[in-house]
Copies of this chain bind each other. A is one copy, B any other.
């Protein structure tokens, strides 16, 4: 994260036209933040909050740090968000919505089912690779025991699994429950692989990693080229 070179008061009070200039202060001339229209300020606060929540998680994030990051005082946070949880939920909803949009777009991108599954997997990889790491709020939340978050995560998982289950049902004669389980399998697998790919330093290019996972999804392990080995006991694909 970017190091702050001045204490906030000094840094900010003296910031005129974008240039740092330390300024002395008397008690009756409080340091003043730059005034912004309400919507612009709210957007800025959300950005700062995302940085802190992504770095620290909900529980270790403190409102003081978020205010510092935004360059405002704490009361300004409470002018825009009733509390810490509300701030977090606003971010969560924004990013969960983005992921579902990506998945829906992927499913709508073709009528060829194999490609629809591959595109859905690609959607997870794209989401996880985004700047600002919003996936950390959606897939790795440390607030999962809070009912509001739990419900949202469950709904998001159900929605994405259901979307994939529709594809599975188009192609197979599997009953609803089984198709849903497989839909959950694929969306879960995509999520976990995308996160693993990111953490591993992207030694496999993203598109290739997504394609590999798509191949696994469609053809299974049996669909990969075999090495003939004595004693391995593998059946032919």
Contact = CB atoms under 8 A, between A and B. Distances in A.
A185 B178 contact: no
Contacts of A224: 168, 171-172, 174
A189 to B, nearest CB: 4
A149 to B, nearest CB: 10
A131 to B, nearest CB: 20
B213 A181 contact: yes
A92 B8 CA distance: 40
Interface string A120-138: 0000000000000000000
Query: Main secondary structure on chain A at its contact with chain B?
Result: helix
A235 interface: yes
A184 interface: yes
Interface stretch (A20-28, A62-70, A75-83, A108-116): A108-116
Interface in A148-204: 154, 157, 161, 168, 170-174, 177-178, 180-182, 184-186, 188-189, 191-193, 196-197, 199-200, 203-204
| Residue of A143, A182, A220, A234 ringed by the most chain B CB atoms within 10 A | A220
A53 B197 CA distance: 31
A133 to B, nearest CB: 13
Interface stretch (A32-40, A43-51, A93-101, A225-233): A225-233
B227 A173 contact: yes
A233 B217 CA distance: 17
A136 B174 CA distance: 30
A43 B225 CA distance: 50
A181 B205 CA distance: 12
A21 to B, nearest CB: 37
Contacts of A170: 227, 229, 232
A221 interface: yes
A207 interface: no
Nearest to A182: B216
A218 B220 contact: yes
B221 A221 contact: no
Considering the complex of A and B, which 7 residue pairs feature the smallest CB-CB distances, nearest first?
A: A188-B192, A220-B220, A57-B145, A189-B189, A219-B220, A112-B233, A172-B224
